Amino acid sequence: MPCSMTGMGRASGTIKKPPIKFDVEIKSYNHRFLEISIKCPNILLPYEEALRKILQKRLVRGHIVCVIQQDREVTDCNVEIDKTLLHAYLNVVQELQRTHNISGTVDINTLLSIQGLVKLSQPSVSSQTVFKEFKPILERALNALMIMKQHEGKNIEREIKKSIRIIERNIIRIERLIPQRNNDYESRLKDLAKRFKEDFNEERLYQEVLYTVDRTDVTEECKRLYSHLELFKDSLVSDGHPGRKLNFLLQEMQREANTCTVKANFLKISKTVVQVKEEIEKIREQVQNLE
């Protein structure tokens, strides 16, 4: 099943030790190759390469942006008072009162507003433990991304198959027009020969007809178009990541269509080939979105 290169997946979760909430968002954009950009909190920085490998296992092409946000829950904190700073502050207050005869009292709000007086500390955190518990959250975000990519891939596949059916109908039309083109050319040559009866050579006329029919025959091009279409349809359905192969087949189909236009030299065939080329171009635009 083909997957779109574009999509987005999100997931949130809280690990237990220590209790940290993580929010993960993974976005995928069109790109010729696989390019991964990860933005994560400091605690996960040592495992950035491991995060990258998790993404690489599931993704083949696209510009991937993975943003991990951390919301630390302050629990089981140790609250400490800088007693040296507190004593120094109170000594200054007493000295001012005694020396300058200043009245007044120091309340608790004033004390707590002293910068650095109250210190909060949390137990040391093992980044390895955090990474181990975080991985399932990342996997959920990645699963959500893959579901969206597969859904978009189905829509792209549906549109591509519509264009393929149109191309097939037009190839059939081209094959049916070939005898008409041959008869038309023969008729024109006969009309031309009648104008020059004295130089008319029936054997030479038919040699010219046969030569032109052979030189302008596009039967082989039609067969190769059919062959490319069959390979294209098979790859679209059976290959997990068919994007590059489909692009190559489209180039070959475009080449055969161009040859048909040049060789046929018949307006009705040329018009039909134009419709084929239009559908090939539509498919090309859709394929650019596939992995």
pLDDT, tens digit, 9 for 90 and up, residues 251-269: 999 999 988 887 777 788 8
Q: Residue 33 pLDDT more than 70?
A: yes
Q: What is the rounded average pLDDT for all residues in the chain?
A: 85
* Residue 213 pLDDT greater than 60, yes or no: no
Separation of alpha carbons 291 and 285, rounded Å? 13
Q: Which residue has the higher pLDDT, 206 or 220?
A: 220
126-135 mean pLDDT: 90
Tell me the CB-side half-sphere exposure of residue 255, using CA atoms within 13 A. Answer: 9
| Domains in the chain, CATH or no CATH each | 7-75+126-150 (3.30.230), 78-121 (no CATH), 152-287 (no CATH)
Q: For the chain, how big is the Rg over CA atoms in Å?
A: 37
Q: Which residues are CB-neighbours of 291 under 8 A, at least 6 positions away?
A: 2, 3, 4, 5, 59, 60, 61, 62, 149, 153, 241, 242, 243
Amino acid at 29: Y
Question: Which tokens belong to 201?
Answer: 């050579």
Q: pTM for the full model?
A: 0.68
pLDDT exceeds 60 at position 150: yes
pLDDT at 48 over 70: yes
* pLDDT at 234 > cutoff 80: yes
Burial letters 47-82, b for 16+ CB under 10 A, else e = beeebeeebeeebebbbbbbebeeeeeeeeeeeeee
20-29, strands of its sheet edge to edge? 7-15, 20-29, 62-72, 34-39
Stretch 181-207: mean pLDDT: 65
More confident residue, 146 or 201: 146
Cα–Cα distance, 54 to 33 (Å, whole number): 17
Cβ–Cβ under 8 Å, residues 43 and 125:
yes
| Rounded CA separation 91/109 (Å) | 18
